[in-house]
Amino acid sequence: MNHQPASDLGILPEWNLSDLYPSPDSPQLDADLIAVAEAARAFEAAYAGKLAGLTGAAFGKAIAEYERISEIIYRAMSYAQLLYSGDVSNPENGRFYQGMQERVTEISTHTLFFTLEINRLDDARLAELLASPEAGHYAPWLRDLRVFRPHQLSDELEKMLHELHVVGTAAWNRLFDETMARLRFPMGEAMLTSAEVLNQLSDTDGAKRKAAAKSLGQVLGENAPLFALITNTLAKEKEIDDKWRKYPRPQSYRNLSNQVEDHVVDALVDAVQGCFGPLSHRYYALKAKWFGVDKLDYWDRNAPLPDDSDRKFTWAQARDTVLGAYGAFSPEMAEIGRRFFDNDWIDAPVRPGKSPGAFAHPTVPSVHPYLLVNFQGRTRDVMTLAHELGHGVHQVLAGGQGPLMADTPLTLAETASVFGEMLTFRAMLEGETSPKNRRIMLASKVEDMLNTVVRQVAFYQFESLLHDERRRGELSPEHIGELWMRVQSESLGPALRFHDEYRHFWTYIPHFVHSPFYVYAYAFGDCLVNSLYSVHAKGGIADFPAKYLDMLRSGGVHRHKELLAPFGLDAANPDFWRQGLEVVIRFIDELEAM
Is the pLDDT score of 506 beyond 60? yes
Is the pLDDT score of 328 beyond 60? yes
Mean pLDDT, rounded, for 506-530: 92
Cβ(212)–Cβ(299) below 8 Å: yes
Cα–Cα distance between 122 and 115 in angstroms, integer?
13
122-160: per-residue pLDDT in tens? 999 999 999 999 999 999 999 999 999 999 999 999 999
Of these ranges, 116-120, 306-310, 411-415, the one predicted with the greatest mean pLDDT is 116-120
Position 433 confidence tier, pLDDT thresholds 50, 70, 90: confident
Mean pLDDT, rounded, for 191-214: 93
Mean pLDDT, rounded, for 459-484: 98
Mean pLDDT, rounded, for 274-296: 96
Cα–Cα distance between 125 and 56 in angstroms, integer?
10
pLDDT at 1: 45
Measured CA distances, 345 to 90, 206, 333 (Å): 21, 36, 16
Cα–Cα distance between 348 and 12 in angstroms, integer?
6
The mean-pLDDT minimum among 45-49, 213-217, 238-242, 422-426 falls in 422-426
Q: Write out the DSSP string of 229-278.
A: HHHHHHHHHHHHHHHHHT-SSTTHHHHHHTT--HHHHHHHHHHHHHTTII
Give alpha helix (H) positions in 147-223: 155-164, 169-182, 194-200, 206-222
pLDDT at 4: 60
Q: Name which of 380, 394, 392 is nearest 424 in CA terms.
A: 380
pLDDT at 7: 67
pLDDT at 391: 96
pLDDT at 563: 86
Cβ(448)–Cβ(421) below 8 Å: yes
| Residue 359, helix vs strand vs coil | strand
What type of residue sits at position 150? P
Who's near 266: CB < 8 A, 6+ residues apart? none
CA atoms within 13 A on the CB side of 373: 28
pLDDT at 301: 95
Measured CA distances, 88 to 199, 277, 338, 425, 539 (Å): 20, 40, 28, 32, 47
What percent of the chain shows pLDDT beyond 70? 98
pLDDT at 55: 97
The mean-pLDDT minimum among 278-287, 409-418, 508-517 falls in 409-418
Neighbours of 11 (CB within 10 A): 14
Position 585 confidence tier, pLDDT thresholds 50, 70, 90: very high
Cα–Cα distance between 457 and 521 in angstroms, integer?
9
Is the pLDDT score of 466 beyond 90? yes
Which structural domains are found in the chain, ordered by start?
13-167 (1.20.140.70), 246-343+378-594 (1.10.1370.20)
pLDDT at 136: 97
pLDDT at 180: 94
Measured CA distances, 91 to 194, 344, 505, 534 (Å): 19, 25, 27, 49
Is the pLDDT score of 172 beyond 60? yes
Cα–Cα distance between 388 and 400 in angstroms, integer?
20
Cα–Cα distance between 402 and 232 in angstroms, integer?
37
Mean pLDDT, rounded, for 529-549: 88
Mean pLDDT, rounded, for 218-239: 98
pLDDT at 152: 95
User: Long-range contacts of range 459-462, CB-CB < 8 Å, 24 or more positions apart?
Assistant: 459/509, 459/511, 459/512, 459/519, 460/269, 460/517, 460/519, 460/520, 460/523, 461/269, 461/273, 461/487, 461/491, 462/487, 462/506
Mean pLDDT, rounded, for 327-344: 97
pLDDT at 483: 98
| Residue 112, helix vs strand vs coil | helix
pLDDT at 263: 86
pLDDT at 349: 95
Mean pLDDT, rounded, for 302-329: 91
Position 286 confidence tier, pLDDT thresholds 50, 70, 90: very high
Measured CA distances, 589 to 275, 289, 594 (Å): 14, 15, 9
For all residues of the chain together, what is the average pLDDT? 93
Is the pLDDT score of 259 beyond 90? no
Mean pLDDT, rounded, for 192-213: 93
497 φ/ψ angles, rounded to the nearest 5 degrees? -105, 120
Mean pLDDT, rounded, for 171-193: 94
Query: How wide is the angle at C-alpha 448 spanned by C-alphas 446 and 450, nearest 5°?
Result: 70
Position 446 confidence tier, pLDDT thresholds 50, 70, 90: very high
Residue 171 or residue 411, greater confidence: 171
